[in-house]
Chains A and B, each alone.
Chain A
């Protein structure tokens, strides 16, 4: 009886896989690629919804402040000059606005997940991405 119940729950989860689950998987790939050697990645975000998604990723912890964080995932305008942290955009407009300083961005458009890494800024932060993500690196003008 327990086995049947467990199977039922698993099937339900699979069928009900939401954009949040997809996003969680993408962020997990992004963060583990940027910090391949870190066992715990401290992330700061100004978006409470994003915090919730990120907190559910294994090896990821939400930092209390920007100073403690390994990476900042921003959704609103931010004083980029105040930090030398790695910054990742959580929306196309933010991505476009801070394209000179951020290492990349992830956003949804027309129901499709879009991921972009900015080549110049990756080099600046000395980040080398695995081959699986190489296709998402761009020289963005």
Chain B
């Protein structure tokens, strides 16, 4: 579209330039013609003046003024002689002398009309006539200010080397008019063309202004005067992701405001909230009303200036918290939650980054609202958990700086280690251990993630080969659905066929899966002897229906339930129900997050077979077979 516009502009420009060039050429031709006519007329005037001069000198030997003054008959004779040269082009032929006062007066006038009398004064351009008088040379005056006159030709008449008079020939504008009349229609056409161009330009400018105004309206949310989703669609097409940080804001309990005070109050709150956000951000930042009470903010990262979306988001959160909204005398207080993405460059697409901001917003809501969350759930506890880049992970993979830590899963009755869960870690260049929540998100949906999966499987099978002990690894359900990763898993299993039965795959993320394909693939994996476990069951999107289709061997109860089992009746009942359910289906149960003796005793009493947690054993660099 942009290329087509450029072509249009280019063609239009060429047309305008061509018209301009044509007009310029016609003006040039017009000027050249006039110059040529001027030359021809001057050349003729030279002949006439020469003849006149000769004629005078035949009759007057010296003292022109006195001779003519005293001889009226000679004057008449000479004037008659001169009048022969008068033509439509040479309108006036006359001779003036300069009197003592410096004024010019007639000596002879051969003109057929507007004839001057002897010694009558004629108002002429003295300065230029004097020049002809003083220089004794022919002088040409362009008569721009005299009606119907084109040029005045001046030739000094000399007697004994002294100028006694000036012969003047006035050229009429007749020829000039003829030329002008010939050129006038062409000029007129151009005038119409220029007028049409200007009119079109005027319409074009009007249309552009109208378009800008209409476009602005179409991309602006009328209520909050922020950008709307129409704008966002175009903005996201051209955005340089790494130049922005993103925050997603949602007004807490906004529905209650609508329900309690009415929709008009809700609208008022939305407009005011937008105003507060606008006051907190800079002109280069972009504010979009993303949904009902959701706003998306793009913080522009200026060169050499530190942009901290987290800090600005905190400021916005505080401003909203402190603000006393007043609608029709009713005081309304509100808070907002924000999810922030600082390192947008780590995401493959802008949509991924927005999704991440949304997830963090969800996390902020989950953590009690009126919060700004700029890190993922697991990374909140790790102070040194800043994101690393894709190239950092790739480098770590290339330099074998990917390792596994192992956390034992213990049989609660015998206190024997039944299995170890492999937990992937990355060793930073400075030797620090980096946890997976800092780098898995970064490489998600990239080939690096596939390489990482392969490397973990290699490490785990090496350990299995060495210790002949069971190890579990973590994979997302979506990883199994990803054909590339699935193929990697199959290849590794094929390579380590005899060790496959030592491996357990713990599956995470239960949302929106194609259970049919998953079932087929899990059954294939299981055919190698691999056990399938469901991790973190009981939290998030997990539900029991999954057991209808998926071949699950082990179920790991989520730590968030286990940790409350001693204080919450509900948590206790959930665990109790899960155990009963699993016994009926012959599914092995593992309790995660066993962090105290009290918890250990409760889960043991409930009949949980295996447990995992800091109270039993912390993750270690090296796998152990006994506690």
Residues of A participating in the B interface, judged by any CB pair closer than 8 Å: 18-19, 92, 109-116, 135, 138
Cβ of B75 within 8 Å of any chain A Cβ, yes or no, is: no
Interface contact B146-A109, CB-CB below 8 Å: no
Cβ of B123 within 8 Å of any chain A Cβ, yes or no, is: yes
Given A19-B147, A110-B111, CB of A116 within 8 Å of CB of B92? no
Cβ of B34 within 8 Å of any chain A Cβ, yes or no, is: no
Nearest 6 CB-CB pairings of A with B: A111-B146, A114-B123, A111-B149, A112-B123, A111-B147, A110-B92
Interface contact A110-B114, CB-CB below 8 Å: yes
Cβ of B536 within 8 Å of any chain A Cβ, yes or no, is: no
Interface contact A113-B121, CB-CB below 8 Å: no
Interface contact B146-A112, CB-CB below 8 Å: yes
- A residues less than 8 Å from B332 (CB atoms): none
Cβ of B359 within 8 Å of any chain A Cβ, yes or no, is: no
Residues of B participating in the A interface, judged by any CB pair closer than 8 Å: 92, 94, 101, 103, 111, 114, 116, 120-124, 143, 146-149, 170
17 contacts across the A-B interface (CB closer than 8 A): A18-B147, A19-B147, A109-B114, A109-B122, A110-B94, A110-B114, A110-B149, A111-B148, A111-B149, A111-B170, A112-B122, A112-B124, A113-B123, A114-B121, A114-B123, A135-B101, A138-B121
CB distance from A115 to the nearest CB of B (A): 7
Distance between Cα atoms of A75 and B121 in the complex (Å)? 19
Given A109-B116, A110-B92, A110-B114, CB of A115 within 8 Å of CB of B123? yes
Told that A109-B114, A110-B122, A111-B148 touch, could you supply 18 new A-B pairs with CB distance under 8 A?
A18-B147, A19-B147, A109-B116, A109-B122, A109-B123, A110-B94, A110-B116, A110-B170, A111-B146, A111-B170, A112-B122, A112-B124, A113-B123, A114-B121, A114-B123, A115-B123, A116-B121, A135-B103
CB distance from A74 to the nearest CB of B (A): 19
- A residues less than 8 Å from B147 (CB atoms): 18-19, 111
Distance between Cα atoms of A114 and B116 in the complex (Å)? 12
Most chain B beta carbons < 10 A, residue from A18, A111, A113: A111
- A residues less than 8 Å from B124 (CB atoms): 112
- A residues less than 8 Å from B111 (CB atoms): 110
**Residue ID in chain A nearest B168 by CB atoms:** A110
Distance between Cα atoms of A35 and B111 in the complex (Å)? 37
Distance between Cα atoms of A138 and B100 in the complex (Å)? 12
- B residues less than 8 Å from A111 (CB atoms): 143, 146-149, 170
- A residues less than 8 Å from B146 (CB atoms): 111-112
**Residue ID in chain B nearest A140 by CB atoms:** B121
Distance between Cα atoms of A115 and B123 in the complex (Å)? 8
- A residues less than 8 Å from B121 (CB atoms): 114, 116, 138
Distance between Cα atoms of A138 and B122 in the complex (Å)? 13
Distance between Cα atoms of A18 and B124 in the complex (Å)? 18
Distance between Cα atoms of A111 and B143 in the complex (Å)? 10
- B residues less than 8 Å from A18 (CB atoms): 147
- B residues less than 8 Å from A110 (CB atoms): 92, 94, 111, 114, 116, 122, 149, 170
- A residues less than 8 Å from B116 (CB atoms): 109-110
**Residue ID in chain B nearest A17 by CB atoms:** B145
Interface contact B148-A114, CB-CB below 8 Å: no
Distance between Cα atoms of A135 and B116 in the complex (Å)? 20
CB distance from A117 to the nearest CB of B (A): 12
**Residue ID in chain B nearest A115 by CB atoms:** B123
Interface contact A114-B149, CB-CB below 8 Å: no
- A residues less than 8 Å from B114 (CB atoms): 109-110
- A residues less than 8 Å from B143 (CB atoms): 111
Distance between Cα atoms of A138 and B121 in the complex (Å)? 10
CB distance from A79 to the nearest CB of B (A): 25
CB distance from B543 to the nearest CB of A (A): 71
- B residues less than 8 Å from A92 (CB atoms): 120
CB distance from B142 to the nearest CB of A (A): 13
- B residues less than 8 Å from A116 (CB atoms): 121
CB distance from A48 to the nearest CB of B (A): 21
Distance between Cα atoms of A92 and B149 in the complex (Å)? 20
Distance between Cα atoms of A27 and B94 in the complex (Å)? 28
- A residues less than 8 Å from B120 (CB atoms): 92
